[in-house]
Amino acid sequence: MKKSKILMITGSLLLLTLFALPLWNITLEAPQYPDPLGLDIHIDKLADGNNPNDVRNIDLLNHYIGMDRLPEDMLEFKIFPIVVLVMAILGVLVGLSGKPRLYLTWVIIMAILGVAGIYDFYSWLYHYGHNLNPHAILKFVDKNGNPMAYDPPVFGTKQLLNFTVHSYPASGAYAMMVGIVMAIWAFVTGKKEG
């Protein structure tokens, strides 16, 4: 088999690691939490990020500022697995076809889906951080007098009250990125192989 085909097929199969590995991790640091709290975002669930019971303990803290409980099921948790599975199968088929142009198309679709996914993630965080219970125990306002919002960053680090919040891609996202790079590489070598 040609090198490009192997790269393309392996790259798309790497997507399947997302069924086991988390896509994103949000870590909350505070002096009272020498073991920081963590939230792992998977394509099909939210999970304890750093210690057992993290989701439970984040919910417990969030109730003071009137945040909703973290969702156990969302529409995304149903859609994402299907999208990932379809893209993986599609990638394998594209690889078998051996056509570099299709490789590139696959990469472009992946990029569009990625941007859409991140936008969805952002809007979820925004909604979650802004949509607060009016009877919240602790109500803070920002310097303009507006109710304080608690949306964690999509990417990067931010201070939220006593917590320093870090939001970064996790192992699953890195595996996916490697997969995409392999698909681009497949496209380049495929063209050379002519």
Partner 1 sequence: MKSMYKNAVMALVLFAGLTLVSCNQGGSNNGGALKSSAAEKVFVAPGEYDSHYAFISGGFSGQLSVYGLPSGRLFKVIPVFSVDAEKAYGFNEETRDMLKTSHGYIPWGDSHHPDISQTNGVVDGRWVFINENNTPRIARVSLETYETAEIIEIPNSAGNHSSSFVTENTEYVVAGTRFSVPIPQRDISIKDYKGNFKAALSFIKVDPESGNMDLDFQVLMPGFDYDLSHPGRGKSHGWFFFSTYNTEEAHTLLEVNASQNDKDFIAAVNWKKAQEYIKQGKFKTMPANYVHNVYSDETHTTTSTTKKSVRVLDASKLPGLVYLMPTPKSPHGCDVDPSGEYIVGSGKLSASMTVHSFSKMLKAIENKEFDGEAYGIPILKFESTLAGTVEQPGLGPLHTEFDGKGNAYTTFFISSEVVKWKLGTWEVVDRKPTYYSVGHLMIPGGNSRKPFGKYLVAMNKITKDRYLPTGPEVTQSAQLYDISGEKMELLLDFPTVGEPHYAAGAPAEVVKGFSKKFFKLEENKHPYATKSEDDVRVVREGKNVHVYMTAIRSHFAPDNIEGIKVGDRVYFHVTNLEQDYDVPHGISMIGANTSELLIMPGQTETFVWEPKQVGVWPFYCTDFCSALHQEMQGYVRVSPRNSNIKLSWSLDDE
By CB under 8 A, name the binding residues for partner 1: 35, 52-53, 56-57, 60, 64, 137-138
Alpha helices in 14-163 (DSSP H): 54-62, 75-97, 100-130
For residue 44, give every residue at least 6 positions away whose Cβ sits within 8 Å of its Cβ, in sequence order, or none: 19, 77, 78, 80, 81
By CB atoms closer than 10 A (0-12, 13-18, 19+), residue 22 is buried
Which lies closer to partner 1 via its Cβ, residue 118 or residue 138? 138
- Shortest reach from residue 193's CB to partner 1, in Å: 56
- End-to-end Cα spacing for the chain: 14
Minimum distance from CB of 53 to partner 1 (Å)? Answer: 4
Contact 190, 12 (CB under 8 A): no
Question: Whose Cβ is closer to partner 1: residue 55's or residue 107's?
Answer: 55
Minimum CB distance to partner 1 smaller for 59 or for 120: 59
At its nearest, how many Å lie between partner 1 and the CB of residue 35? 7
Q: How far is the CB of 57 from partner 1 (least distance, A)?
A: 5
- Give the nearer residue to partner 1 in terms of CB position, either 118 or 161: 161
